[in-house]
């Protein structure tokens, strides 16, 4: 069973609308949680990284939240743009090493 579960698997929204992507994890011991954006056929690009002491972090129109008690994170995208169409991957690191556990991603499509 994957230790990082993302939902929904896919999402279609209209340009200008907001959306929220979810990530639940069971990885332990928790070190940090990252959100990556991956365009089709390209490598992932980092959006945010949060440690257990942080519960929110923003990067432009992207805002990530973390609840280390419930082991949940969300990525909120505000005023979506066509260029936001991509897969969004939640990555949780365990222990003291960069032992990254990847979710399967949420495929977001923004339509005009």
Q: With binding defined as CB under 8 A, does residue 22 bind another protein?
A: no
Q: With binding defined as CB under 8 A, does residue 35 bind another protein?
A: no
Measured distance CA(58)–CA(76) in Å, rounded: 9
Q: With binding defined as CB under 8 A, does residue 44 bind another protein?
A: yes
Q: Output Rg (C-alpha) for the chain, integer angstroms.
A: 13
Q: With binding defined as CB under 8 A, does residue 103 bind another protein?
A: yes
Q: With binding defined as CB under 8 A, does residue 53 bind another protein?
A: no
Residues 6 or more apart in contact with residue 8 via CB below 8 angstroms: 21, 22, 106
Q: With binding defined as CB under 8 A, does residue 104 bind another protein?
A: yes
Task: Report DSSP state, residue 82.
Answer: G
Q: With binding defined as CB under 8 A, does residue 68 bind another protein?
A: no
Measured distance CA(60)–CA(52) in Å, rounded: 22
* Binding window for another protein (CB under 8 A); candidates: 11-19, 54-62, 75-83, 102-110: 102-110
List beta partners, residue 92: 33, 101
Q: With binding defined as CB under 8 A, does residue 20 bind another protein?
A: no
Measured distance CA(17)–CA(96) in Å, rounded: 38
- List contacts with another protein (CB under 8 A): 2, 4, 9, 31-32, 34, 36, 41-46, 49, 51, 89, 93, 95-105
């Amino acid at each position: 069973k994957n230790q990082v579960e993302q939902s929904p698997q896919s999402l279609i929204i209209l340009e200008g609308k907001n959306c929220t992507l979810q990530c639940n994890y069971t990885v332990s011991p928790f070190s940090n949680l990252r959100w990556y954006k991956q365009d089709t056929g390209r490598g992932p690009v980092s959006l945010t990284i949060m440690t257990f002491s942080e519960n929110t972090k923003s990067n432009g129109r992207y805002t990530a939240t973390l609840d280390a008690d419930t082991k949940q994170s969300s990525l909120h995208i505000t005023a979506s743009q066509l260029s936001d169409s991509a897969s969004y991957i939640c990555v949780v690191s365990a222990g003291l090493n960069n032992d990254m556990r990847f979710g399967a991603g949420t495929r977001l499509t923004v339509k005009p």
